């Protein structure tokens, strides 16, 4: 099981939080998704066949932006 934490911009309200969670859960292999609207973070637990690249693409294709530091 892998775990990733992303800083994401664009999570403005409960609706966008739910939209992002639902999008990520569509990826096969996603076990758990936690979205913290206050801190703008998304924590994802996943196993194969899910990949980090698929998760990043899903976040960005859902209208959110991953903040790289």
pLDDT for 68 = 76
Residues 29-58 have pLDDT tens digits of: 999 999 999 999 999 999 999 999 999 999
* Residue 44, domain CATH: 3.30.70.100
Does residue 50 sit in helix, strand or coil?
Answer: coil
No. of H helices and E strands in the chain? 2, 4
Count of residues for the chain?
A: 69
Total domains, the chain: 1
Does residue 28 sit in helix, strand or coil?
Answer: coil
| pLDDT-based confidence at residue 69 (cuts at 50, 70, 90) | low
- Predicted TM-score of the model (pTM): 0.91
Residue 54 CB-half CA count within 13 A: 16
Residue 37 CB-half CA count within 13 A: 11
Give the structural domain span for 31. 2-6+14-66
Q: Tell me what the pLDDT averaged over the chain comes to.
A: 95
């Amino acid at each position: 099981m892998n775990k990733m934490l992303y800083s994401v911009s664009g999570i403005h309200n409960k609706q966008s939080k739910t939209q992002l969670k639902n999008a990520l859960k569509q990826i096969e292999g996603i076990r758990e998704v936690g979205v913290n609207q206050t801190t703008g973070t998304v924590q994802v637990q996943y196993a194969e066949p899910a990949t980090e690249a698929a998760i990043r693409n899903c976040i960005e294709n859902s209208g959110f932006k991953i903040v790289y530091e």
